[in-house]
């Protein structure tokens, strides 16, 4: 079911371009960057945010009814330090990670489009090969 995911990680970008072309490869690279970003976000939440939520309590004597009540944002609202930590770490770290991911993708997009732009004159036969098709068995 997830064989496509292994292929996406094992093939390098140049091989993906040969197989799919630039537009489809950019989409696959975007998916790869999204997977990396969300994996990092998940690890950040597991290591830093969930322990903060679990150890907090909204009142001095918590009356929590279920297990899910222990892992909510309300558990950090009693202490302003925990509330500020969760707010700013989420806001700053997640935004910074997203901006870095988007910047890396944008740089790759610009370099590939510049390298394969059809409006630029061809310099080698390899450049021509990127825009040609093979026709065979014509009478």
Q: What is the pLDDT of residue 100?
A: 94
Neighbour-count burial of 83, counting CB atoms closer than 10 A to its CB (0-12 exposed, 13-18 middle, 19+ buried)? middle
Helix axes 22-44, 13-20, angle to 10 degrees: 140
DSSP E strand stretches across 7-132 = none
Determine the Cα–Cα distance for residues 93 and 45; give it in Å rounded to an integer. 11
The owner of tokens 């040969």 is 18
Determine the Cα–Cα distance for residues 135 and 138; give it in Å rounded to an integer. 8
Q: Which of 51-55, 79-83, 102-106, 122-126 has the lowest mean pLDDT?
A: 122-126
Question: For the segment 63-116, what is each residue's pLDDT rounded down to a tens digit?
Answer: 556 666 666 666 666 667 777 888 888 889 889 999 999 999 988 888 877 666
The reply to whether the predicted model has a pTM over 0.75 is no
């Amino acid at each position: 079911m997830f064989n496509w995911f292994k292929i996406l990680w094992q093939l390098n970008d140049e091989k993906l371009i040969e197989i799919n072309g630039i537009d489809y490869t950019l989409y696959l690279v975007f998916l790869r960057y999204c997977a990396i970003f969300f994996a990092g976000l998940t690890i950040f939440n597991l290591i830093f945010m969930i322990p903060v939520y679990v150890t907090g309590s909204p009142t001095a004597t918590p009356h929590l009814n279920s297990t899910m009540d222990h892992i909510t944002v309300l558990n950090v609202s009693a202490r302003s330090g925990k509330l500020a930590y969760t707010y700013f770490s989420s806001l700053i770290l997640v935004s910074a990670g997203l901006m870095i991911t988007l910047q890396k993708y944008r740089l790759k997009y610009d370099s590939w489009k510049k390298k394969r732009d059809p409006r630029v004159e061809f310099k080698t036969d390899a450049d021509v090969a990127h825009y040609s098709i093979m026709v065979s068995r014509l009478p």
